[in-house]
Every structure is written in C-alpha cells, then in structure tokens.
Amino acid sequence: MSTINLPPPGPVGGRANLIDPFGRHVTYLRVSVTDRCDLRCVYCMAEEMTFLPKRDLLTLEELDRVCTAFVRKGVRKLRITGGEPLVRRDIMSLFRSLSRHLRSGELSELTLTTNGTLLSRYADELAACGVRRINVSVDSLDPERFRRITRRGDLAQVMRGIEAAQSAGIKVKINAVALKGVNEDEIESMVAWAHGRGMDVTFIEVMPLGDIEPERIDQFMPLSVVRDRLAQRYTLTDTSERTGGPARYVRVAETGGRIGFITPLTHNFCESCNRVRLTCTGQLFMCLGQEDAADLRAAMRGSEGDARLEAAIDEAISRKPKGHDFVIERQARPAVPRHMSVTGG
C-alpha cells in the first residue's frame, strides 16, 4: 500500500475566511460520521440507545463535499469522530478521498478520535492516508473496570489497536475521562503507562450532554483535583504548547511526556475556540454546549453547486457564540439533551 508524502508544515497561505463575531478564526472542523458505537461508556451513552435511521445520515460523498467546502474556506484540521467512526461502513473511502487535501497542502492534519476496538484492522491504511496522529479513549487500565465503564469493552483488543497504530508510525494520544469513585485511583498509573510508551495523555472532565442512567454530579471530578494529585508525584511545568484543540498542557520533568487537561466546567476553553462540529446528519453546531445549529444537509441537497452550502457555512459562523454554559448539579437536566455520540466526541 502506497503512503502519502505530506508537505512540511508551514504557515497558512492567505487569511482564513471563517471568522466568528469575536474575531476567532475557525480552522478546525470535527466531523461525526455516525452516532453508532460498539461500546456504551457510562458517561457518554445510555445503556439502551436508539440510533438514527441510516437514511438520515449524510452519505460518505456528502461528508467529503462538506469537508472540502470547509477546507476551501480556510479549515486546516479535520478530525473524524463518532460515535465510533471506524464502525461506519466503508469509512476508509472517506479517509482516502480527504487525503487529497493533505497532498495539496490545503489541509495540515487529518485525524480521528477512536475507542481503539477496530484500530488494529485499519491502522496501516490510516497511516497510508496521511493520518499521523490519533486520539484513543482509554478510561481504565484494569480489564474488569474497563469493561464496566464501557459496558462491553475488551481492553486487550484496544491495546492491540494502539500497538498497531504505533507500529504503523501513527502517534497516539490517550484520552481519559476522570470519573469520581471510578478511575480516580488510576490517574498516576495512567500517566506512567502512557509516557512509558511514548504517548501523551489528556484528562477530561465529564460533560453534561444527554440523559444517562448515573447522575453526572456523582461522576464529576474537577481536574484541579487531578492536577494536585499528580503534582504530589511529578514535577509539572505549564507549557504554551497546543495541538489545535482545547487541552492545556503541562510537561512532566520525570518522564519528558505531556499531560493535557480539558476543563469545560471548572475552566472553560471558550476564549480561544477555533472549532465547529458537524453531526452525521449534517447539522453544524457552532458550540458543543449550545443547541443552535445550521442545517448543512438541506443546503447541500438543495443545490448541485456549493454556493448555497458555503453561504450556509458563512451564516452559521456569523452566529458562533462566545462560549458555553455548562453546569453540573443534582436534579438538573443536561445542559443539552443530545448525547456526546450525536455531536461527535
């Protein structure tokens, strides 16, 4: 299988066309290709989910079309998400098609977030499509606990996927949701394990998205507590390094690795937000924590050309809000009713 030779990273040619009302350049699009997942993580989904009819989803051709429109308008990073993106039938055809934007230099990065269950099957092909960096969600290193959190996951299968990705030359970052009373005793060991294998790790606060069986206030663990605990074992130095997303990073003197913190509740990341999210049904959400959306599917299907689609994108960006209003409290409804799997992780 041939491998894409990517142009070296460099400055963006020209000025980004997508600028929101607060002067932030939108250069990052997260694209959910499916709401389906082969796991049922306790903080993300209800155990019994009703998934969207397949007829409601954008086709792979439509996903390519809308992503290409965003690239033309200055987006430099595409992240493919779900649900679990690798369960989407023929998903690699989308990666193969989008990789042309890497070859042209219009796109700086094509990446994905995955639970890793199917990664061993697709790692080599992802690398051949120009994917150089991925996020893999791992919330516990204990096989039984991992199965309880995911309600059905096999940790060994995920580990094989991570190994396959690294063998293919893909840099892996671990994402772990900090869950009070569930995995908080693994915080330090998670860092040691990840850094020992050359992987950064990012901890994430649980987010109030969608109705789930547990109370989220019972799951919520502020990352200030996580950082304080890590500081008792490691020497942490703040860094201005960014990977294009919302994480704030520290460097660990003892390991040389990085730890990221994504804190949508205790310290939101809205002031520098450069992201918008496209659902698998073609709804563009300008903010993860707001319900306002633009229907790009209607714009695409209503015209053969892309003028209407690009006008809809421009109009949507013009009303991107300043930030979200996430709050977690007992008896409160979720900040937004849709599950994280619908919007894209």
pLDDT digits (tens, 9 = 90+) for 315-344: 999 999 877 554 444 444 444 444 555 565
Peptide bond into 130 cis (omega under 30): no
Annotated binding site: 30, 37, 41, 43-44, 79, 83, 113, 137, 173, 207, 270, 273, 275-277, 287
Residue 76's pLDDT band, with cuts at 50, 70 and 90, is: very high
Considering the domain boundaries, does residue 254 fall inside one? Answer: yes
- Residue 11 belongs to some domain of the structure: no
Kindly state whether residue 15 falls inside one of the protein's structural domains. no
Using pLDDT thresholds of 50, 70 and 90, give the confidence band for residue 273: confident
Tens of pLDDT, residues 93-107: 999 999 999 999 999
Q: Is residue 285 part of a domain?
A: yes
Q: Is the pLDDT of residue 250 over 50?
A: yes
Determine, yes or no, domain membership for 13: no
The annotated binding site for [4Fe-4S] cluster is made up of 37, 41, 44, 270, 273, 287
Confidence of residue 206 (pLDDT cuts 50, 70, 90): confident
Q: Which of 170-179, 224-233, 270-279, 295-304 has the lowest mean pLDDT?
A: 270-279
Q: In the chain, how many domains are there?
A: 1
In which domain, by residue range, is 268 found?
Answer: 28-343
**pLDDT (0 to 100) of residue 338:** 46
**How many C-beta neighbours within 10 Å does residue 255 have?**
16
- Binding residues for S-adenosyl-L-methionine, by number, are 43, 83, 137, 207
Q: In whole numbers, what is the pLDDT of the chain averaged over residues?
A: 87
Q: Is the pLDDT reported for residue 209 higher than 50?
A: no
- Name the binding residues for GTP: 30, 79, 113, 173, 275-277
Q: Tell whether 8 is covered by a domain.
A: no
- pLDDT at 90 (0 to 100): 97
pLDDT value of residue 321: 83
Instruction: Round to whole Å and give the CA distance between 167 and 126.
Output: 12
Predicted confidence (pLDDT) at residue 196 exceeds the cutoff of 90:
yes
What CATH number did the domain enclosing 284 receive? 3.20.20.70
- Whether 10 is in a domain gets the answer no
Could you tell me if residue 296 is inside a domain? yes
